[in-house]
Amino acid sequence: MNYLIKQFITYLHIERGLSANTISSYTRDLKDLEVFLKTRDKNLINCDGNDLFLFILNMRQNGKAARSIARIVATLRSFFTYLIAEGERDDNPTIHLNGPKLELTLPRVLSETNMDKLLQGPDKGVDLYIRNRAMVELLYSSGLRVSEVVSLTVNDLSLDVGFVRCWGKGYKERIVPLGVPAVESIQKYLDGPRQRLKKKVNTEAVFLNSRGSSLTRQAVWQILKAWAKERNVEDNIYPHKLRHTFATHLLDNGADLRSVQEMLGHADITTTQIYTHLTRKRILDVFRQAHPRAD
């Protein structure tokens, strides 16, 4: 790999704290660019805007979807901005490079009725069942990402004051409040089931499997699917949908956008604003269904 790409990837990992998946995508895009430039006897230092335009055109002709093209353009902008900052280039060849305009995709959420169904059910008193309930309550009460849930330690929980600490993207710390049902469910899990699951394993992870190891993201997904099926919630359930649901229900019930942004750990409020589109759409649907002169 070109040393400039290696330096950039190190920068993304160490200084920006991007996820492994994001870094993998950036790496793949830049390797593709490097291969393309070689066919034109160019490199990352002497290429120009026309070279990048032809690269994007080549990606389109090879069947890349609009969303992938948009990501590639974002990769190029970030990379060449980095080269300028490092003194490797004094010009930015991406200045006139435009990606495709993407349609706004609204996140899918559970209705409050379905969310209530998901949180109902008899207390079976089994360790894994108590763990699963605590986890579902936490996901909805906090809006944590699944990666944040599986990395939680017992030291991150302050149940006496109703807060949880987590480390989001870029290793940024945030403190999120918890509702009373979530606090009670988590405390019940910690009071016995977790200790029995832990066995002799030396771990501080909150959510453990039957062998005493920390749950994986895939395991959380499977647990949530089974939990929803048991309660006849037929909607396509996955952990991030509960994060979307958390944010939407807060806004539906009067929370302000800045507070929701803080709780979700979004660096940019425009990321959080997508939930306001969802709320407005719901209001419009209610109006069209209820008002006699809506049509």
Secondary structure class of 259 (helix, strand, coil): helix
The answer to whether the beta carbons of residues 197 and 210 sit under 8 Å apart is yes
Residue 240 appears among annotated catalytic residues: yes
The answer to whether the beta carbons of residues 210 and 219 sit under 8 Å apart is no
Burial 35-46 (b: 16+ CB within 10 A, else e): ebbeeeebebee
| Vertex 25: Cα angle to 24 and 30 (nearest 5) | 100
Nearest Cα to 157, choosing from 133, 136, 182? 182
Which of 169, 174, 225, 231 is catalytic? The answer is: 169
Residue 266 appears among annotated catalytic residues: yes
The answer to whether the beta carbons of residues 126 and 192 sit under 8 Å apart is no
Which of 26, 82, 189, 275 is catalytic? The answer is: 275
Total Cβ atoms within 10 A of residue 49: 14
CA gap 34, 82 in Å, rounded: 16
Residue 275 appears among annotated catalytic residues: yes
How many residues does this entry show for the chain?
A: 295
Nearest Cα to 194, choosing from 147, 229, 159? 159
Which of 131, 243, 244, 249 is catalytic? The answer is: 243
CA distances from 161 to 36, 158, 183, 246 (A): 56, 6, 9, 20
Torsional sign, CA 52, 57, 62, 68: positive
CA gap 85, 37 in Å, rounded: 22
CA gap 228, 110 in Å, rounded: 11
Residue 108 appears among annotated catalytic residues: no
Which of 145, 194, 241, 249 is catalytic? The answer is: 145
Residues tagged active-site: 145, 169, 240, 243, 266, 275
